[in-house]
Amino acid sequence: MSIQPGAYLPDATLAVVDGEIQQQRTTDLFVGRKAVLFAVPGAFTPTCSNKHMPGYVKHFQEFRQRGIDVMCLSVNDAYVMQAWAKAQQVPAGLLMLADGNGNFTRALGLELDGSAYGMGLRARRFALYAEDGLVRQLHIEAPGELNVSTAEAMLAAIAD
């Protein structure tokens, strides 16, 4: 069962990439923040690189103007997330969260078994909005889709 609105984000340690790489607990990372967390199945994969991430880069300032932080989660290591951030020209402040072993993703109940494609455990494509670690909205994509977790969809959902 996946996390639901009204639940607090689980405690886990992630590698946070914002230029530098630092280990941080999710309980500390989300405290006192309004945040959109979007997850991708893999850095450097076609849909993630060509469609999902570019929308968040393009609309990053719109989120910031609303007082909302933006974070990208993937079951990749921190060095892959750092290289992907550079390749995608991710602005400073858009946090890249590396969940290398998938512990946080599993705790959310949003893991994807990509073994059939040689990818192992990955995160499902989703986006959530949380305030002070409390999930207010959760939008999970159907397999192969990119509709409800885009930057544009989240901006519209949060405005409602």
Burial of 146 (0-12, 13-18, 19+ CB in 10 A): middle
The SS3 assignment for 50 reads helix
Report the distance separating Cα 99 and Cα 103, nearest Å. 7
- The residues with which 141 forms a beta bridge, in sequence order, are none
Non-local (6+) Cβ contacts of 28 within 8 A are: none
Token couple for 87? 């390749």
Burial of 21 (0-12, 13-18, 19+ CB in 10 A): middle
Is 72 catalytic? The answer is no
Token couple for 131? 């305030």
Catalytic residue selected from 15, 48, 138, 154 = 48
Catalytic residue set: 48
